[in-house]
Chains A and B, each alone.
Chain A
Amino acid sequence: MKLGAGFPVWLLRGAIVVAVGLIVLLLRAQHVATLPVLAIATFGILSAVAPASPAPAFVIAATAVSAATSGTSPFALSMLALLPLVHLVHIGSAISATVPATARVHPSALRPAAVRFIVVQASVFAIAAVAAIVPATVTPTALEVAGLAGVAVLAALAARLVTKR
């Protein structure tokens, strides 16, 4: 393969800023308070400038909490649109963090990540579709316990995952 010019990595970082901008607009549409939105916008810009910092984690967590507490239906269009945007911030920051700010990105390098992004989002929307179909009643105690146990297992697996060599 002959080395091409590629595009500047700042375009990828610019995509993070655009995604955060859309998140901010959607949260404002959900009547989320100004302070958290401002904090998300600030940390969103920080995510583009320093993608290896904890800023993207703050943006993702703050967006999720703000959206969950906004009172908007989990299956509303403005809520579902937030999911790929938050995922985009996560992926964009992860890839941008591997190269210096002066690097060049070759579009073909992003193809596998783009395909996986679509697959993961399709899975998440499938979960959302199932959740939308399931009737909202009082959760049986056994299911509640199973859910909590599942969370505990998930936490243990996560701890194993991050300390894996």
Chain B
Amino acid sequence: MNRVVKWLRSQRDTDRWRNTDAMYRAVVVGVALIAAGVVAHTITLVLFGAPLLLSAVIALPHLGEPKVRQPRMPRTMEPGKRVEIVFEIEPGEGVELTALRAPRGKTIGVGRVHLLPGNTKEIRTELSRTSWGEGVDLRPDRLFAGPDALRIYGPIVGTEGTRIVLPPVVALPTGPLPPRPSGLVGVHRSPRPGDSTELRDIRVFQPGDRLRRIDWRVTLSAAASTGVMTPHIRERHADADATLIIALDTRLDIGQDIGDWATPAIGLRDKGTLDTAVKAATSLAASYLRQGDRVGLADLGWPQLSLAPGSGPRHLLKLRHQLVLCTRAAEWTPKPTLRPQQAPAGALVMVLSPFLDNAMVDLTATIVRRGVRVLAIDLLPAQLKPEAKDPWGEVVLTIVRAEHAARLNTLREHGIAVVRWGDELPTALRNLARRRR
């Protein structure tokens, strides 16, 4: 009895060679048919049993231990970029078939199982996930089989290989950035006098002014008109960098179908507001960082995931990583939060939200009351679809739209510029920037 139990247990061990059902079929049916043929003097049964038994005998030779090395792949990647990975296989003696799970082409995820020749030592394939975010792109599940697949080694579940595809960066025009009172680097005009090329004022020379700033042409014309030689200087603006805070409403991720709003989505919704918000945040951040500004990130749902303002290409990379983390932790919280220290005076706060609750409007208005410039970017999908099966679907849609319009009006009444993310945004940003000058 113990031997039977031991044998049954051994059949479940997948990390060694074992017989398959086909092997038992070949041996039992083969022997039975041959025995029956001999006993009954029927050659037909022997002829039917012979190939089964022969294939079982051929499958007997010693089979070596096969191995697959986990392919190396980059931890992070740009969207749309392809990367080649190599599976290195040590097939072992006598292995005739290798079943390996590998991604191929435009397959999303770990891919399908491929049945390959057993002597394959190297398999090359490409990872080509286009959607951004963190995901499992590799799990080399494998199984090796001997002749006629009568003996197998495995199946062995592979180690998962995760990869982060960073959110894509779309080029945007520069927007309305307020001058910064301190700091004398950057490309934005500061109210302070400085060394830029933009003219601020022409005035009489004062103690402390640099001699090289004297505009002799103005000085001479002034002397000609007044008769008194008074040096005049040409004063210029200082260049300053600006601080942009991208405030992301990660509490909601909704799509076009109102009927799906109450259903929790696994991961990000396709073309949902959170996906749009992250793409918008990345594009805005890239656009402003490119011109030397400082960009910070504020997660309104989880303030601890926020990122302090910084500048440079490394900061953009950090910010894109942080956006992936924010979306991973995203879930509904009743009260959005933006601490005063997260939006310093002089900064521009861009609030990206679908503005579907009053708490969001209250927070945005509070930021403005602190004296910070705010630009509200509405992410609610333009074409909302009512729930088809619900007789009240159209009514619900009307109420949602009316409430949303009322919230946006409230924001405008507080002096907050509201723009919709999409085609109209570049124009709106240009207009706001022009108005500023």
Residues of A within 8 A of B (CB): 1-3, 5-6, 9, 52-54, 56-57, 60-61, 63-65, 67-68, 74, 79, 82-83, 86-87, 90-91, 93-95, 97-100, 102-106, 108-109, 111-113, 116, 120-121, 123-124, 127-128, 131, 139, 147-148, 150-151, 154-155, 158, 161-165
Kindly specify which of B26-34, B227-235, B279-287, B347-355 makes contact with the partner chain: B26-34
Partner of A60, one of B29, B145, B150: B29
User: B147 at interface (Cβ–Cβ under 8 A)?
Assistant: yes
Ranked 4 nearest A-B pairs via Cβ: A94-B22, A64-B48, A103-B113, A3-B125
User: B152 at interface (Cβ–Cβ under 8 A)?
Assistant: yes
Besides A87-B51, A124-B54, A148-B38, 12 more A-B contacts (Cβ < 8 Å) are: A1-B122, A3-B114, A60-B52, A61-B33, A64-B49, A94-B148, A97-B21, A98-B97, A106-B117, A120-B58, A155-B35, A162-B28
Q: Nearest-CB distance from B75 to chain A (Å)?
A: 22
Q: List 21 A-B contacts (CB under 8 A).
A: A5-B105, A56-B22, A60-B48, A64-B33, A64-B44, A64-B48, A64-B49, A65-B45, A67-B48, A68-B42, A94-B20, A95-B148, A95-B149, A103-B112, A109-B97, A113-B96, A116-B55, A120-B54, A154-B35, A162-B28, A164-B19
Partner of B117, one of A56, A108, A121, A165: A108
Q: Nearest-CB distance from A157 to chain B (Å)?
A: 8
Q: Nearest-CB distance from A40 to chain B (Å)?
A: 13
Chain B residues positioned under 8 Å from A120 (CB to CB): 51, 54-55, 58
Interface residues on B, range: 35 or more
Residues of B within 8 A of A (CB): 7, 10, 16, 19-35, 37-56, 58, 60, 96-99, 102, 104-105, 112-118, 120, 122-125, 143, 145, 147-150, 152
Q: Nearest-CB distance from B274 to chain A (Å)?
A: 31
Q: Is the interface of A mostly helix, strand, loop or mixed?
A: helix
Chain B residues positioned under 8 Å from A111 (CB to CB): 117
Chain B residues positioned under 8 Å from A128 (CB to CB): 43, 47
Bound-complex Cα distance A123 to B28 (A): 20
Q: Nearest-CB distance from B415 to chain A (Å)?
A: 58
Contact A98 B149 (CB under 8 A): yes
Contact B120 A161 (CB under 8 A): no
Q: Nearest-CB distance from B259 to chain A (Å)?
A: 31
Bound-complex Cα distance A67 to B46 (A): 12
Q: Nearest-CB distance from A20 to chain B (Å)?
A: 15
Q: Nearest-CB distance from B250 to chain A (Å)?
A: 35
Chain B residues positioned under 8 Å from A67 (CB to CB): 44, 48
Q: Nearest-CB distance from B26 to chain A (Å)?
A: 7
Chain B residues positioned under 8 Å from A95 (CB to CB): 97, 115, 145, 148-149
Q: Nearest-CB distance from A163 to chain B (Å)?
A: 6
The residue in chain B whose Cβ has the minimal distance to the Cβ of A64 is: B48
Contact A103 B114 (CB under 8 A): yes
Contact A109 B116 (CB under 8 A): yes
Chain B residues positioned under 8 Å from A57 (CB to CB): 25, 28-29
Contact A139 B115 (CB under 8 A): no
